Chains A and B, each alone.
Chain A
Amino acid sequence: MKTTRLVIVAVGGQGNLLASSILAEAALIDRVPIRMSEIHGMAQRGGVVESALIFGPGHSTIIADGEADLLVGFEPAETLRALGKCHRESTVITNLAPLMPFTVNIGQGVYPDLKRLQEIIRAKTARLIAFNATALARDAGNVLAVNMVLLGCLVETGLLPIQAASVHTAMEKKIKPDLLEVNRRAFQAGAAAARENAA
């Protein structure tokens, strides 16, 4: 088995850590070695939350620059900020709905142009899947399910060594029963987005 390295970046409150723990749980079900680390000190204060998941053999729990085979960004500017984690063969999945940092609101800095952002990522990596995951989550019934939309997309690419069925089992374990349906719909919407991109 080869080692697959995944970095997920998000803004505090976007549910990155739940998505990561579902993937890790699925790996445990599939008996795939899994190591994970997170930086979440100030997650609740609107800072950046990053998690690293390493599937397969090895020892490290963190992913250095140039080591990520997969980068999933829950927010476009954060995807761009984390691009240094990637190498030429990496696949990048990004939400296209911006969350404006307050620094922009008070006139410190300009938010990057979304079209250009996609061109840059496409030019530097092997594949980019970019779509408005927030809108899909809203359509699925809960804008907070954006994490599951991106999770669905990620799992659908088939680039992780885990079974979709195991991810569903992990979701049942980690998500409250009354929210499960909405999250499943969001997951499916993300999976459909990945299929569209591949087509």
Chain B
Amino acid sequence: MHKLLIDRPGEKMLLLGNEAIARGAIEAGVAFASTYPGTPSSEISLQFFQISRECDLHFEYCTNEKVAVEVAAAAAACGVRSMAVMKHVGLNVAADAVMTLAYVGVKGGMVILTADDPAMFSSQNEQDNRYYAKLSGLPMLEPSSVEEAHRMLPYAFELSEELAEPVLLRTTTRINHSSGVITLGEIRPRATRGRFVRDPLNLVTVPAVSRRLHVKLLENFARAQALSEGSPWNFIEGEGPWAVLCSGVSYNYVKDALDELGIADRVRILRLGFSHPLPARRIQEFLRGSEKALVVEEGEPYLEEAAKTHAQEAGLTLPIRGKAPDLFSRLYELDPSTVRRVTARYFGVPDRSRPAVDVSDLPAIPQRPPTLCAGCSHRATFYEVRQAAEELGLETVYPTDIGCYTLGLLPPLSMADYLICMGSSTGTAGGFSQVSGRKVVSFIGDSTFFHAGIPGLINAVFNNHNFTLVILDNGTTAMTGHQPHPGVDMKQLKLENYGRVSIESVVRGIGVSHVTVIKPYRVKKSIEQIKEALSFPGVSVVISQELCVLYAKSLKLPRGKPFRVGEKCKNHRVCMTRLACPAFYIWNERIHIDANLCTGCSLCAQICPEHAIVPARETAEK
């Protein structure tokens, strides 16, 4: 049995934050879950995916976050408890649905989980999604710990049902990827079938309906605010003349800082876990009688601005500060020592904690950026596209997209010139080709193509742009942990009841007239095929098909035989400097191939001008 289905209330379990969130949802009786994978949220969906194979939970990997919200919203409209899981930027994609879903509301509880990524451990920006709560008018809950996240989930569903609208649950990477001990609760039975009651005057958002629904949303807002005022998720701790307001993981850093500074008896904390709508009166009462207040929050001054507004309304004039050059930054994430240092400075108390060792005089340490795996087919495709463009003497622009292949940015491949968001490779290619006067070759992964690449390609065909789109089809969503997507052969995963969408048919159906499918490990042939595609005036598409090697390994597919560097090697290291496959290493001033890492893709063997790289069991002379 899946460990998150264990029905032993009261038992303690050490869980990753994302596991604890999934468990909390299971305890709440979630019956319908959907997602598009994205770090730091991915493990939540992974749990749901695994659990759904053992019980009647319905789970879907969706083409994108907007679809994930839509399928879950419909389930909730029928009274089924549903959850849509995404990373913070995923909520941008889903926003169109969410903004009006806030008007329409739900019947069954619906939780939209947004996993924010302050400091951008694996994201393209660090936007603060608390503003989505403000923008949509929906309630937001924010846990401070793994243990609290687990407890908060059942409440989030109850709140959603009480207000008849979705609830946003916001985590940050440090919740998702921290582990803590939780106490298992009871699992509420799942109701997987619902009833749809036709009610177009409340469910079909034509202007006349929406005008009324907006009124309802504002009424809900007032009800939500009343709940927030009395909510135990917003609590006050401690006594003293100084005040600290905080939410999320910042609360942990504040607690530890006050203990370490020895001022826990002089500071009152208002921890805001029900962070939209904020409890205005509670904040005013909290601030009244304080000498000065510090707001400790990651990202934007969301609480700070609210605290200042509410203080002004109550005629309070105490200093309230948070984001400032001498205090907290809006950049990146907070940590215990930053919070300790700033708290000490603001309240004028000494910080006697031990300083960090001085690292200013360390010798330079070479960088260790993540890199494409040994044998990754993207390396072959990148090499071939570059080679083709060079042979044709083309000046190029290489827009790219989001996935493992974004790592092609790094030298020596250096095959990424522009990236803003999921799917941007297809849209931006059109703009670049129109104005730059250069040959535009865009890269997009298979999963990203389904997610947001298709409209840009249709646009290009319609507006008659001139570029080549290379679709890197490695049969999985590799970057986030090998989740399936609509192009995946689910039978390979021994899963029935799935359809399959062929990328090639989609591309041809869109009307792209030059479509080529290449096998990137056949280097010479691929270069010739790519040259043809690059020479085509108009939109051409190259689909580079080869399974991700890590995914192939997880499927236990047979792996290629390793290569070795033979006697013919002249040590000019063309292979290493052009490919930088991590299986290469230098030993005694010579290049070697690590047979444990080499997947036998043979790319290096095919490009070595000396033909010195040979299968490990043969010799170079043969």
In the complex, the answer to whether A46 meets B582 with C-beta atoms within 8 Å is yes
List the B side residues contacting A33 at CB < 8 Å.
181
In the complex, the answer to whether A87 meets B369 with C-beta atoms within 8 Å is no
In the complex, the answer to whether A66 meets B354 with C-beta atoms within 8 Å is yes
List the B side residues contacting A84 at CB < 8 Å.
356-357, 359
**How many angstroms between the C-alpha atoms of A67 and B341 in the bound complex?**
13
List the A side residues contacting B368 at CB < 8 Å.
11, 46-48, 77-78, 101, 103
Select B337's contact among A40, A65, A107, beta carbons within 8 Å: A65
In the complex, the answer to whether A37 meets B370 with C-beta atoms within 8 Å is no
Q: Does A45 contact B (CB under 8 A)?
A: yes
CB 8 Å contact bits of B106-146 with A (1 = contact, 0 = none): 00000000000000011000000000000000000000111
**How many angstroms between the C-alpha atoms of A143 and B48 in the bound complex?**
35
> Which residues of chain B in 353-403 are interfacial with respect to chain A, using CB atoms and an 8 Å cutoff?
353-359, 362-373
List the A side residues contacting B455 at CB < 8 Å.
none
In the complex, the answer to whether A37 meets B39 with C-beta atoms within 8 Å is no
**How many angstroms between the C-alpha atoms of A127 and B336 in the bound complex?**
24
Q: Does B550 contact A (CB under 8 A)?
A: yes
In the complex, the answer to whether B411 meets A106 with C-beta atoms within 8 Å is yes
Q: Closest CB of chain B to A80's CB: distance in Å?
A: 6
In the complex, the answer to whether A110 meets B366 with C-beta atoms within 8 Å is yes
Q: Does B192 contact A (CB under 8 A)?
A: no
In the complex, the answer to whether A45 meets B404 with C-beta atoms within 8 Å is yes
Select A37's contact among B174, B411, B582, beta carbons within 8 Å: B174
List the A side residues contacting B145 at CB < 8 Å.
59, 61
In the complex, the answer to whether B582 meets A102 with C-beta atoms within 8 Å is yes
- How many residues does chain A have at the interface if contact means C-beta atoms less than 8 Å apart? 62
In the complex, the answer to whether A46 meets B370 with C-beta atoms within 8 Å is yes
Q: Does B522 contact A (CB under 8 A)?
A: no
List the A side residues contacting B292 at CB < 8 Å.
none
**Do A59 and B356 contact each other (CB < 8 Å), given the known contacts A37-B178, A103-B369?**
no
Count how many pairs of residues, one from A and one from B, have CB atoms less than 8 Å apart in the complex: 173
Q: Closest CB of chain A to B487's CB: distance in Å?
A: 21
Closest to A109 in B: B366
List the B side residues contacting A85 at CB < 8 Å.
356
Q: Does A165 contact B (CB under 8 A)?
A: no
In the complex, the answer to whether A125 meets B357 with C-beta atoms within 8 Å is yes
List the B side residues contacting A116 at CB < 8 Å.
363
List the B side residues contacting A125 at CB < 8 Å.
357
In the complex, the answer to whether B577 meets A88 with C-beta atoms within 8 Å is no
In the complex, the answer to whether A42 meets B359 with C-beta atoms within 8 Å is no
Select A66's contact among B144, B179, B253, B337, beta carbons within 8 Å: B337
In the complex, the answer to whether A60 meets B256 with C-beta atoms within 8 Å is yes
Q: Does A159 contact B (CB under 8 A)?
A: no
In the complex, the answer to whether B356 meets A103 with C-beta atoms within 8 Å is no
List the B side residues contacting A102 at CB < 8 Å.
371, 580, 582, 584
Select A38's contact among B146, B177, B353, B369, beta carbons within 8 Å: B177
Q: Which of B353, B366, B586 has the most A CB atoms < 10 Å from its CB?
A: B366
CB 8 Å contact bits of B241-261 with A (1 = contact, 0 = none): 000000001011101100100
Closest to A44 in B: B550
Q: Does A181 contact B (CB under 8 A)?
A: no
CB 8 Å contact bits of A1-32 with B (1 = contact, 0 = none): 00000000001100000000100110010000
Select B364's contact among A40, A109, A124, beta carbons within 8 Å: A109
**How many angstroms between the C-alpha atoms of A59 and B373 in the bound complex?**
37
Select A39's contact among B12, B121, B335, B586, beta carbons within 8 Å: B121
> Which residues of chain B in 452-476 are interfacial with respect to chain A, using CB atoms and an 8 Å cutoff?
none
In the complex, the answer to whether B582 meets A66 with C-beta atoms within 8 Å is no
**How many angstroms between the C-alpha atoms of A81 and B178 in the bound complex?**
22
Q: Closest CB of chain A to B341's CB: distance in Å?
A: 10
In the complex, the answer to whether A60 meets B354 with C-beta atoms within 8 Å is no
Closest to B181 in A: A28
> Which residues of chain A in 71-108 are interfacial with respect to chain B, using CB atoms and an 8 Å cutoff?
77-78, 80-81, 83-90, 100-108
Q: Does B501 contact A (CB under 8 A)?
A: no
List the B side residues contacting A108 at CB < 8 Å.
366-367, 411
In the complex, the answer to whether A28 meets B356 with C-beta atoms within 8 Å is no
In the complex, the answer to whether B412 meets A106 with C-beta atoms within 8 Å is yes
In the complex, the answer to whether B357 meets A124 with C-beta atoms within 8 Å is yes
**How many angstroms between the C-alpha atoms of A48 and B121 in the bound complex?**
12
**Do A105 and B585 contact each other (CB < 8 Å), given the known contacts A11-B368, A48-B368, A61-B252?**
yes
In the complex, the answer to whether A58 meets B580 with C-beta atoms within 8 Å is no
> Which residues of chain B in 401-449 are interfacial with respect to chain A, using CB atoms and an 8 Å cutoff?
404, 407, 411-412
**How many angstroms between the C-alpha atoms of A116 and B407 in the bound complex?**
32
Q: Closest CB of chain A to B270's CB: distance in Å?
A: 16
Closest to A59 in B: B252
List the A side residues contacting B538 at CB < 8 Å.
none
**How many angstroms between the C-alpha atoms of A76 and B508 in the bound complex?**
52
In the complex, the answer to whether B359 meets A45 with C-beta atoms within 8 Å is no
In the complex, the answer to whether A83 meets B359 with C-beta atoms within 8 Å is yes
**How many angstroms between the C-alpha atoms of A154 and B359 in the bound complex?**
24
Q: Does A34 contact B (CB under 8 A)?
A: yes
Q: Closest CB of chain B to A112's CB: distance in Å?
A: 5
In the complex, the answer to whether B253 meets A60 with C-beta atoms within 8 Å is yes
Q: Does A64 contact B (CB under 8 A)?
A: yes
List the B side residues contacting A117 at CB < 8 Å.
363
List the B side residues contacting A101 at CB < 8 Å.
366-368
Q: Does B14 contact A (CB under 8 A)?
A: yes
**How many angstroms between the C-alpha atoms of A66 and B356 in the bound complex?**
3
Q: List 29 A-B contacts (CB under 8 A).
A: A34-B180, A37-B177, A37-B179, A38-B179, A42-B122, A42-B370, A47-B369, A47-B370, A48-B368, A60-B335, A61-B178, A62-B336, A63-B336, A66-B337, A66-B356, A77-B368, A80-B362, A80-B365, A87-B355, A100-B586, A101-B367, A105-B576, A109-B364, A109-B365, A109-B366, A111-B366, A112-B363, A120-B362, A120-B363
Q: Apart from A60-B335, A106-B580, what 18 extra A-B contacts exist at CB < 8 Å?
A: A24-B179, A35-B178, A35-B179, A41-B39, A45-B407, A60-B252, A60-B256, A60-B336, A61-B252, A77-B365, A78-B368, A80-B362, A86-B357, A87-B357, A102-B582, A102-B584, A109-B366, A109-B367
A-B pairs, 10 with minimum CB distance = A66-B356, A109-B366, A47-B370, A42-B370, A59-B252, A64-B337, A45-B370, A41-B122, A61-B178, A64-B335
